Amino acid sequence: MNVLTSITVLGLLIFFHELGHFLAAILQGISVDGFSIGFGPSILKKQYKNITYSLRAFPLGGFVSFPDEGNSEINKDNPNLLKNRPIIQRIIVISAGVIANLLLAYLILIFNVSTVGIPYDPEPGILILAVQPDKPASQSGLEAGDKILKIKGNELGAGDEAVSQLVTEIQKTQLEGIPITIQRDDTYIDLYVTPKNINGKGTIGAQLQPNIRKETYKTKNIPELFNFANKEFFSLLIKTIEGYKGLITNFASTAQQLSGPVKIVEIGAQLSEQGGTGILLFAALISINLAVLNSLPLPLLDGGQLVFTLIEGLRGKPIPEKIQIAITQSSFLLLVGLSVVLIIRDTSQLLVIQKLFNQ
């Protein structure tokens, strides 16, 4: 059921992304002939007012199609065709999907804060959310729910700064035991954790977060509600952008952290176990990720189409079709190749973990 929930959330987020493109076109009087959620063969199809609406077999994607895309029977001079509209109108249509996902994420955070409340400030220490089997953290005796209070005898602070301090210490230490002090329930325990070297950096195989109390408090007023939601939204957005930036500046390390569709569904299933709050957090995170991903300047994505359109605006004429096709095909191979690698890797990891738990 949790896996089904995460797939449903993904489908809804993709629906809102495509709905952004669709409404931006329709409201400007631009002709649209198709609205599809998913790829592959159609499961459901309905035509209404010359627009074909379809639900397809693979829900991890979608598209809005326009009648000037490869249709030889269309009047090429029709002013309602997308390619015949002013550059600014086309930019609005291209950007609308990203804007829709960002707006949706922001509204989800507003709703979550207004119903669940605001968390208290982080307390000293770092909370262990999860520990991977047969990794240094697990081998040292660390367990999910433990709180790391000290490292090398020095007390950790609170919040993201404490997490960054611990991560930095782990990354620069390899094959050498690090003394830490943890709190487990009401007991204080001294442990040694020995980071493993991966791509020149130490790692222990644990998911960390600031030590935040589970309790929340209701917002006192509207400004407090929006101030906290703004802070959370921009924090998630900046971290997501930095993650994609790392693909360029530090690909070898960042690629290890990339998640494909299988891993995303697994994460969504885990968060949905926390109830409505977990599902909302997952939806906001993925919605922001969809926005940032689609902003990348790759021809198959919104960012690539935006680059083509801006270049056309500067040149006064479109980029030659042969060049666009060559770039698009290269981009397609890159994205498909990366997706296949991520799916195989994530599926393999899930099978290994499942085997370990079944032993």
Catalytic residues: 18
Q: What torsion, rounded to 10 degrees, do the Cα atoms 57, 62, 64, 67 define?
A: -50
Q: What is the DSSP letter of 158?
A: B
CB-based burial of residue 98 (10 Å sphere; 0-12 exposed, 13-18 middle, 19+ buried)? buried
SS (H, E, C) 197-211: EECCEEECCEEEEEE
Neighbouring residues of 197: CB distance < 8 A, sequence distance ≥ 6: 174, 175
Helix (H) / strand (E) element for 36: namely: strand 34-48
Neighbouring residues of 278: CB distance < 8 A, sequence distance ≥ 6: 270, 271, 272
Q: Both tokens of residue 211?
A: 């030590």
Q: What is the DSSP letter of 84?
A: G
Cβ contact 72:89 at 8 Å: no
Q: What is the DSSP letter of 145?
A: T
The residue whose two tokens read 């291209």 is: 94
Which residue type is seen at 167? V
